[in-house]
Amino acid sequence: MGKYEELSRKALEALGGVENITHVTHCATRLRISYARKSVVNEEGLKDLPGSAGIVNKDKQIQIIIGPGVHDAYEEFLEISGWREGGAVAAEEEEESGPKNAMYYLNKFGNFVAPIFMPVVPAMITGGMILAIKNLLVNYFGMGVDSGTAQLMLMIFDAGFAFLPVYVGYTLASQLKMQPIMGAFLGATLIAPRFATGTVTDFFGIGIPQVSYSSTVIPIVLGVFFMYYVQKVLKKIIPEALTFFLTPLITMILVVPVTLIVLGPIGNQLSGYIAAFCIWLTNTLGFIAQPILSAIYPYMVMFGLDKGLSPIGIELIANLGYNSVTGIMGFVSNICIGGTALAVATTIKDNKAQKGMIASFGVTALCGVTEPAFYGALLSRPKALIGTAIGAVSAGLVAGLFGLRTFVQGGCPGYLTLLFFVDQNGGLHYVWIAILVAAIATIVSFLATKVILSRDMKKTAK
């Protein structure tokens, strides 16, 4: 029996069976299952799932909070449910109720973006960490910069970042319910050696801009969306007997030139604008920007909006070599949630099991995984979140004043990701600043939450 077998079986039953499931994916910590008909979903049956820290139900999607083992839960759920993309789903989806306001569309955006970028995060984290270790070995342990080992580590780093168009092309095509390999195929054309060396200069006399798409995201996103609409048209006009051969052939003949001549250069320009905007924001607001962003970040995670920041972080790393915006707000916020959860645990006197559980949530959050602490301990204690905000503002101010920046893009920043702050030359300047910021975040959020909850308990006792 697998670790998540019971969770998978109970979740499948509560969701109304495999025929009610429309999509299954996961982010860094949550198993995300979309469904067709809300009327057959038993929300009570989804509570207290074994191996889960709770659920979030929004926009016809159940998000089961698992933690770092979410990929294992995802694989086990697929095996037990038998669900596959394009398999049997409910014939008709119920109309969504409720107002379609700004939050509705933000939720839709977050739910769409998460399955595109989160599967790519492990490759980026691993590549970035390998580069940081290589830089440390070269700077402080005498490894030759041109040695075979150093070059091998650089190769792993390149594999994590240079092929982003292939990775994102695959995941985006899958999210759009296309053949994923076609998205990867298009991404590969953007970084193919023949194009990268400048050999491909025109298409029937139309000049092709010589742009490097290595480590970029937006050009392939535009290209895959264009491919999606091209394929929709082709499926209507190509006979079914010929579609297997002709649809991919004509798709690539049409999509590749348009992407290289028009969409790719536009996407490349947009990437530069995003980086410039983030730099403008931090320069305009100065050190004030970071505490504000750090304080609101937990609520972005709660609504799933943090996933929309992934492309921004990727573009900053690709264009500038560092990220001084989105990576820092996540780092500060996660550690503050951990400090707050530990403070909550110390206020519990009469329930040792609950105290130990919340304390473990706090330690997990300090390491970067905050959902168990946020949903399992803090949301039910809104005043504790004041302590989180106080810690985030305090640590964010220090991070802003010292210009803290991260050199690795990835999810779940915390104490275990201090290597993210090793610069391109192996310098530890930003690592020491990160340690200082992390210490302030932990201590201030812990003490502020402790004081707030203690005062509240005294008032209640009186």
User: At residue 202, what are phi and psi to the nearest 5 degrees?
Assistant: -155, 165
Nearest to 77 by CA among 10, 175, 169: 10
CB atoms within 10 A of CB 423: 17
Nearest to 248 by CA among 167, 170, 185, 188: 185
How far is the first Cα of the chain from the last one, in angstroms, to the nearest whole number? 51
Q: How far, in Å, are 215, 264, 274, 295, 297 from residue 325 at the CA level? A: 19, 25, 12, 13, 11
Considering the candidates 27, 278, 336, 412, report the single residue annotated as catalytic.
Answer: 27
367 is catalytic: no
Nearest to 31 by CA among 345, 3, 1, 341: 3
- How many whole angstroms separate alpha carbon 56 and alpha carbon 243? 40
Task: Identify the helix (H) or strand (E) that includes residue 26.
Answer: strand 21-26
Task: Identify the helix (H) or strand (E) that includes residue 30.
Answer: strand 30-35
Cα-trace Rg, the chain: 24
Asked if residues 216 and 164 have their Cβ atoms less than 8 Å apart, the reply is: yes
For residue 193, what are its two tokens?
């050696």
For residue 453, what are its two tokens?
């909850």
Q: Which residues are catalytic?
A: 27
